[in-house]
Structure 1
Amino acid sequence: MARKGAVVLAGAATGLVLVAFGRSLQTTPQSAGASVVPESIDIPSIDVEAPLMKLGLSKDGEVELPPYEKPKMAGWFSGSAVPGEKGASVIVGHVDTKTAPAVFFKLRQVRKGEIVKVERSDGKVVEYKVDSIEQVHKDSFPAKRVYVDDGLKLVTCGGKFDYAKGEYVDNIIVYASKA
């Protein structure tokens, strides 16, 4: 569970990193064509099968989050590459809500070598193999590694919950490359 502001640093860093590398925040990657989008994610090792929604940037320049009212849904950041295409592809999901686990509740249990599948609107299923998992403090969010470097990145909250701020202090990030 995290407040909207929980991704302020990640969102701001995303903007700075993408601008620094010459990518526009307002355009969707063109490598797969505008009509191809990821539709669902399957992570068999942690029993996740979830639909994906398209996420953009908020007016504040933050990466949008899936709505809390849909805890079993993850979201693909449309400012990133379509899974299966060259570039960074980013999928975000909540770890929990105020009352129950959410789609990426078990993400921290994923291990190196496990498979993640993403189904696209063109019928392709892209398989990725997990390369690494890290837990990082939100103040040290690795924006370039997540939003610029090639591969699939799965991002959720983790670590201790800061009750004063109403958010987790860390992010759990899974890095994967095409299998």
Structure 2
Amino acid sequence: MMEITLIQGDITEQWVDAVVNAANSSLLGGGGVDGAIHRKGGPEVLAACRALRASHYGKGLATGQAVATTAGNLPATWVIHMVGPVYSAGAPERAALLASCYRESLRVADELGVRTLALPAVSAGIYGWPLRDAARIALGTVRDTPSGLSEARFVLFGPETYEVFEAVRREWGEGLGHGSMVD
């Protein structure tokens, strides 16, 4: 059975089988989580992303989809890149795309035989997704998606994000594991 845990910390410092990257569709790096993963992962991650662009993803990775590469210099083995949607209050179908990001990441993790996975709060930063709704979609989708993972660890940057995810987790009860404040 998969345990869902929450910590406040840096996703690039997680000793897990795979980390999820909130990538942009180019797969070539950017800001936020994406930039941090590319910086810490080093040239191997960028080279693997370029190879994906040259072969299967010439136009980039579609929103809601996920694909894996090496983790380079990260303490993980794999990076699972997924593209989250930009929030739009007038486009409720975008919530399904956000849920798809998490389902697809779990699918790719299972294909790789991943047992421990670190996930960020996708689309809750520069993409403008309201934090409480992002937490509800993220935690609910991971909880409800069958997976061979032993642990899905949400690594949340900053106290506000952690506190909102923890509040949603508490509302849903013990079925989601536990939280931990870690710097």
Compute the TM-score of the two structures, normalised by the length of structure 1: 0.33
- Larger relative contact order (C-alpha < 8 A, sep ≥ 6)? 2
Which has more helix, going by share of residues? Answer: 2
Which has more strand, going by share of residues? Answer: 1
